[in-house]
Amino acid sequence: MKRLLIFTGFLIAAYTIKAQSADQKAVQQAVIGIFDGISAADLQVVKTHATPDLTILENGIVWNMDTVAAKITQLKALTSYHRDNHLDFIQTNINENTAWVSYHNSANVVMNERNSTRNWLESAFLIKNGGVWKVQLLHSTVVAK
pLDDT score, position 144: 86
Which residues constitute the domain of residue 78?
2-142
CATH number of the domain at 71, please: 3.10.450.50
What confidence score (pLDDT) does residue 24 get?
97
pTM, 2 dp: 0.84
Q: Rounded CA gap, 118 and 84, in Å?
A: 10
For residue 73, the Cα-to-chain-centroid distance in whole angstroms is 21
Task: Please tell me what DSSP assigns to residue 78.
Answer: S
Share of the chain above pLDDT 90, in %: 81
* Burial annotation 76-86 (CB, 10 A radius, 16+ → b, else e): eeeeebebebe
What's the burial of 51, exposed, middle or buried (CB within 10 Å: 0-12/13-18/19+)?
Answer: middle
Q: How many Cβ atoms are within 10 Å of 38's Cβ, its own excluded?
A: 19
Q: What is the pLDDT along the chain (145 residues), one digit of tens a residue?
A: 666 555 554 444 444 444 558 999 999 999 999 999 999 999 999 999 999 999 999 989 999 999 999 999 999 999 899 999 999 999 999 999 999 999 999 999 999 889 999 999 999 999 999 999 999 999 999 998 7
Using an 8 Å Cβ cutoff, are 75 and 81 in contact? Answer: yes
* Total domains in the fold of the chain: 1
Q: Write out pLDDT tens, residues 75-93.
A: 999 989 999 999 999 999 9
